[in-house]
């Protein structure tokens, strides 16, 4: 299950809690329970991927800038059989339905919730942007 606290930007996804002040050092506690893969690391940015959250219901990409959480991308997890690198209408509808359950696309004092479609990467996701 995915929930969003609209007042403070806290995201609950399965048993993971992400919040606007989450930082790179908090990744260590996630590694105790999940396979957390390093995706990008350079001078200013570092990102991680978790592919199997809530029994494969969701996947998450966490992007940090200067060690502070900048944004997260939440997509459908490994339990779904959508083709890789191809965006299907069914997948778009599923993500839009999840966005609707957390309050829809919106701008808040702590950040934004957006639907994201990446045609080059072949994916759709929910972006929760804390870096405004």
Q: How far apart are CA 82 and CA 123, in angstroms?
A: 10
Domain that holds residue 10: 2-129
3-state class (DSSP) for residue 132 = coil
Share of the chain above pLDDT 70, in %: 99
User: Average model confidence (pLDDT) for the chain?
Assistant: 93
Q: How far apart are CA 117 and CA 125, in angstroms?
A: 7
Tokens at residue 120, please? Answer: 């080059």
3-state helix, strand, coil in the chain (%, to 5): 15, 45, 40
3-state class (DSSP) for residue 9 = coil
How many helices and strands, by DSSP H and E, does the chain display? 2, 10
Return the ∠ at Cα 86 (arms to 82 and 91), rounded to 5°.
Answer: 50
3-state class (DSSP) for residue 91 = helix
Domain total of the chain = 1
In DSSP terms, 45 is beta-bridged to: 65
Residue 92: C-alpha distances to residues 37, 76, 88, 117 (Å) = 25, 10, 6, 8
| This prediction's pTM | 0.93
Each residue of 72-118: pLDDT tens digit?
Answer: 999 999 898 888 888 999 999 999 999 999 999 999 999 999 999 99
């Amino acid at each position: 299950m995915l929930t969003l606290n609209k007042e403070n930007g806290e995201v609950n996804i399965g048993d993971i809690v992400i919040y606007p002040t989450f930082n790179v050092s908090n990744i260590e506690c996630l590694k105790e329970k999940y396979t957390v893969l390093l995706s990008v690391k350079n001078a200013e940015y570092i990102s991680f991927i978790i592919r199997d959250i809530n029994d494969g219901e969701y996947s998450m990409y966490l992007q940090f800038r200067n060690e502070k959480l900048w944004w997260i991308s939440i997509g459908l997890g490994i339990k779904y059989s959508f083709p890789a690198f191809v965006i299907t209408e069914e997948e778009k509808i599923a993500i839009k339905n999840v966005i609707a359950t957390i309050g829809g696309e919106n701008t808040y004092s702590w950040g934004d919730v957006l639907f994201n479609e990446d045609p080059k990467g072949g994916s759709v996701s929910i972006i929760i942007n804390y870096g405004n």
